[in-house]
Structure 1
């Protein structure tokens, strides 16, 4: 038994103490099996050849350093045969949950936001490790595992991880989630994980495979990303989420937020997405582990429609641009449908205490507060509209100024060209006169 500097304890495990059951997947290297060790389910990751030994050693070294609830736990390793013994994720990968064949498990916007928050927490922990921080470099849904009936996410597959101090230029990761500086061969930092996180956020909200419409090889996706292509923006997505997502996949790594900032922003937004601890209704595990693309059956469409209905409620909570007193929240998603939306849209500190239903005075005060809240939100909506209008006018003004400057420059250049043309014409005429004079003199002498 060895205790690492991170406080993790892992063992030298004898293979005969492990009861291997069945293969459940494949990582960056090797095959992953479900097994039983010391009476509990575990995942066994093996190597298939000596060529995979380096990746095995990398994962062993990196996993032995980490201890976080959102990172898969390493219990120990075997020397003969060589394998890692890790925490088993009974719900499979996030990728399989998102894109498995029908019937697809239903999840809400709260689950989607919670998964992304948990991923950010795990990666922020890696980036903040001392004395040497880690970059994962292959962050994608196939490497994000789910436990606790789909409510808890854990990052796995550290075969490509490296120290942040080591600026790498070799091509690691997977094309759809890979930051452009990675496949372009540039020096890259921990911000490549931030780019991948932004793509994952888009994927769990839309339940679509990123860049699936491009088709072709990974190089087609890399070329598109290099030229600035990103997943299409999501109609109706709350502005704070859209801004965070697009900042994360910015072309320039320096413009992307740190993963710690991502984590803090997501933590703040989660108060608008209650119910993320509700267990998912998952199909039989063997079906959940099957690979396959999602098909657009009526069931899948119904689930996605319900998902977007919930997202629309969250839009109303996050954006105070629309005031509609007739709209009520969905009680099935954790909100009381009897409470007006104006109440829910208020900042938590401004929300009044729930009234006493048996007290007319209490109910009157509460109703008055609601009316004031509606007026407040109406003013906020008008302010937001005016701010947007001002920004649009400023943008138009700047465009007009640029066009005027361009016109002035073109006029000036045209005047110069006319002047030069006039000078050249005069010079040419002078040369012609001299030539005529020379010809007449030659004729006279002859």
Structure 2
């Protein structure tokens, strides 16, 4: 193994913006490896803070060691020791002593910290493997990023996801263990959710998934989304494909599009997840908490569509965009409880400011879940959280909210006829209001 890999302050291909957050005081330093687009092997860089700036100096490998500032050295430790006692001359005539080596953080793993076992999935980003952490044999999922190490883009995309994931810890969020950039392939390491994506379960199991489980999935997803929003984070990709199952626990996943901000401007010339995208985004180009709520409403539809279909599955993406902007909304699935239909429609309000917050969604879903899963909650087979006293329903208010007194019973003829009338009216609202580029279908 190359000499630099043995050093605690070698951070591999860590991006400058991430490395800079570690260098806080004058003389703090670390080593980075930069992709070399011409010759292949990465360049070794010494990064050191001097005042308000971070200085970066090449440390070139040679057959006999390293060349640094015009002189040859046999190993890196000799260079470091020299400039802890002697000032390092900087190009602008300034100088700095190397004072404090900055070791890798707890999220910076190296390849020997994990063992890959088998491939469990793949996508445009790369390949996902099942594996274990070598220190305790803990099961993990490892996302291998397709990159030859000669360009930064794949690493940039991965590190955006890592920056978000390492901030959060919640039972309904996939747990982040770390990232590996000491050499290629670059890897993202997270909790293994052994039962796969909710979308896959909906497709494969169909009616075998009872209504009460679908309600519980909805409630758990709302708790994860509420947590993200409480941390001022927009997920931007809420869908059943990005919800994973570990036993009966649902966890939000795939934070590649997530942004730790309350407003995020997107480039509308690039492909969008059209079928989950709120209509106002096509005009403003801005995503907010309320756009996550709109997507959550589409996910509620996914959870109750039997057999499962992609939203608007018979329409091309450009038709979805035009119809939704014109006011059209998906017809409620026949198996969806009335209380969920009401909530779903609120999530789709054309006026984004009138949509419920994630906290309001979670509160409503906890009430609904407590009714559909009353026996399971009593026996402790599902997580039970203390509900706000204001949400305790009287018999009258419950009947107003839920319609039929027996939640699992099919709707009566009157309600069915009303729903069909609503759907027919809804379908007439698909007026085209604008046409831009044709978005790609995800």
TM range, smaller chain:
0.5 to 0.7
Query: 2:291 and 2:167 mapped to 1: Cα distance?
Result: 21
The normalised TM-score by structure 1 is: 0.57
| CA apart distance, 1:87 | 0.3
8 Å CA contact retained: 2:312, 2:330: no
Contact (CA 8 Å) 2:220, 2:250: kept in 1 or not?
A: yes
Give the 5 Å matches for 1:340-359: none
Conserved? CA contact 1:13–1:76, under 8 Å: yes
- 1:175 aligns to 2:271 (yes or no): no
Aligned to 1:44: 142
CA distance in 1, matches of 2:249, 2:400: 25
* Cα distance change on mapping 1:86 and 1:213 into 2, 3 Å: closer
RMSD: 3.3
Match of 1:86 in 2: 190
Instruction: Determine whether 1:56 maps to 2:177.
Output: no
1:96 to 197, 200, 204: 200
Deviations 1:210-246 (A, max 9, x none): 4344333x22322222222221124474443221110
Change (3 A) 1:178 1:16: same
User: 1:215 matched to which residue of 2?
Assistant: 315
Specify the SS of the correspondent of 1:167. strand
Which 10-residue stretch deviates more, 120-129 or 9-18? 9-18
Contact 1:98 1:204 in 2 (8 A): yes
CA-CA distance at 1:71 after TM superposition: 0.4
CA gap of 1:135–1:321, structure 2 versus 1, over 3 A, is closer
User: Could you list the runs of 5+ residues in structure 2 that have no partner in the other structure?
Assistant: 1-7, 12-20, 22-104, 383-397, 410-414, 419-442
For the structure 1 residues 204 and 78, does the alpha-carbon distance in structure 2 shift closer, same or farther, using more than 3 Å as the test? same
Q: CA deviation at 1:271?
A: 1.4
CA drift at 1:10: 4.1
Whether 1:71 aligns to 2:173 is: yes
2:351 is matched with which residue? 252
Question: Which residue of structure 1 aligns with residue 224 of structure 2?
Answer: 122
Classify 1:223/1:21 alpha carbon distance in 2 versus 1 (closer, same or farther; 3 Å). farther
Structure with the greater alpha carbon radius of gyration: 1
Once residues 220 and 328 of structure 1 are traced to their aligned partners in structure 2, the CA distance between those partners, rounded to angstroms, is 35
CA distance 1:173–1:86, change in 2 (3 Å): farther
Conserved in 2, the CA contact under 8 Å of 1:114 and 1:276? no
**Which has the bigger relative contact order, CA under 8 A and spacing at least 6?**
1
Structure 1 segment 22-421 matched on structure 2, within 5 A: 22-26=118-122, 29-38=125-134, 39-49=137-147, 50-79=152-181, 80-81=183-184, 82-100=186-204, 104=206, 106-129=208-231, 133-148=232-247, 151-171=248-268, 174-207=273-306, 208-216=308-316, 218-235=317-334, 237-274=336-373
- Give me the whole-angstrom Cα distance separating, in 2, the residues matched to 1:196 and 1:328: 25
Tell me, in whole angstroms, the C-alpha distance in 2 between the residues paired with 1:141 and 1:248. 16
Match of 1:13 in 2: 109
- Alpha-carbon distance in 2 for matches of 1:178, 1:58: 21
With over 3 angstroms needed to count, the CA separation of the structure-2 counterparts of 1:212 and 1:185, relative to structure 1, is: same
- For 1:13 and 1:60, locate their aligned partners in 2 and report how far apart those are by CA, in whole Å: 12
Distance 2:153 2:229 in 1: 28
- Quick one: structure 1 residues 320 and 203, their matched pair in 2 at CA, closer, same or farther if it must change by over 3 Å? closer
Structure 2 residue matching 1:35: 3-state secondary structure: strand
SS at match of 1:135: coil
Higher strand share goes to which structure? 2
Shift of 1:29: 2.7
- Residue 294 of structure 2: SS of its match in structure 1? helix
Counterpart CA distance in 1 for 2:207 and 2:299 is: 18
Question: What SS does the aligned partner of 1:89 have?
Answer: coil
Bigger mean CA deviation after superposition, 55-64 or 206-215: 206-215
CA shift at 1:85, angstroms?
0.8
> 1:319: Cα distance to partner?
6.1
- Specify whether residues 141 and 236 from structure 1 end up closer, same or farther in structure 2 by C-alpha distance, changes over 3 A only: closer
Alpha-carbon contact 1:41-1:88 (below 8 Å) kept: yes
